[in-house]
């Protein structure tokens, strides 16, 4: 059975496959890694990463069961994905551990970690647990045409909670989390995946799962 690609998940819905010599993709990965290092050193992701996307590139990641971050086009990527969204994360490191390259379709997957710029009192790093990574589609001219990040949101929030309890969570990040929890407006680039639901539906779901946890039914 042939399945239609999910438009939320698959690059073929927005960017055509681009078979590419492996050497060119390896050079793209090398340039990308270098740009990320410079962005971490300066705290300026917009300047160092923004130029590495095509004008019509699409960049997205998930923020829960009915919310996505989506940046459409190079300017939104600069303004939101590597601009606004990275504000408050100056000093964080996102080292890549491995890249997988598929030259037949021009796609790359990179696996990275998220390391906070402060340490615990015992000297260990604050690191997001679980797997983090990015799935890219190459657009030619050493630029990405499509990117989707993936990470364990529960572990990200758990680390934020630990940093907050230890008095080490950046004030800008605190403000963003407060806005997400209290505002009726979504953060820049955030949008719902599906229409419908709303506050009443969330309450119903919360009550239902609470019964499961408390009573097993």
CATH of the domain at 95: 3.10.450.50
Q: How many domains does the chain have?
A: 1
pLDDT for position 12: 76
Residue 99 lies in a domain: yes
Residue 6 lies in a domain: no
DSSP state of 168: -
The pairing of strands 144-150 and 53-62 is parallel
Instruction: Summarize the confidence of residues 97-107 as an average pLDDT.
Output: 97
Q: Are 25 and 101 in contact (CB under 8 A)?
A: yes
Residue 207 lies in a domain: yes
pTM of the predicted protein model: 0.88
pLDDT for position 32: 98
Residue 137 lies in domain:
11-215
Dihedral angle sign, alpha carbons of residues 80, 82, 133, 53: positive
pLDDT for position 194: 78
């Amino acid at each position: 059975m042939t399945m239609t690609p999910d438009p939320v998940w698959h690059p073929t819905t927005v960017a055509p496959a681009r078979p590419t010599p492996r050497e060119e993709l390896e050079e793209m990965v090398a340039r990308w890694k270098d740009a990320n290092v410079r962005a971490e050193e300066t705290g300026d992701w917009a300047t160092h990463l923004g130029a590495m996307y095509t004008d019509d590139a699409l960049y997205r990641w998930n923020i829960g069961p009915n919310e996505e971050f989506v940046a459409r086009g190079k300017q939104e990527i600069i303004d939101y994905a590597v601009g606004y969204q990275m504000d408050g994360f100056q000093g964080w490191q996102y080292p890549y551990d491995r890249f997988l390259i598929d030259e037949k379709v021009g796609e790359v997957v990179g696996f990275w970690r998220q390391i906070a710029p402060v340490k615990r009192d015992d000297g260990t790093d604050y690191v997001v647990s679980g797997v983090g990574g990015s799935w890219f589609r190459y657009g030619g001219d050493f630029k990405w045409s499509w990117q989707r990040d993936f990470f364990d949101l529960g572990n990200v929030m758990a680390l934020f909670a630990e940093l907050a309890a230890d008095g080490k969570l950046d004030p800008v990040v605190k403000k963003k989390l407060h806005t997400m929890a209290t505002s009726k407006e979504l953060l820049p680039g955030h949008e719902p995946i599906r229409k419908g639901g709303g506050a009443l539906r969330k309450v119903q779901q919360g009550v239902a799962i609470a019964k499961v946890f408390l009573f097993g039914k």
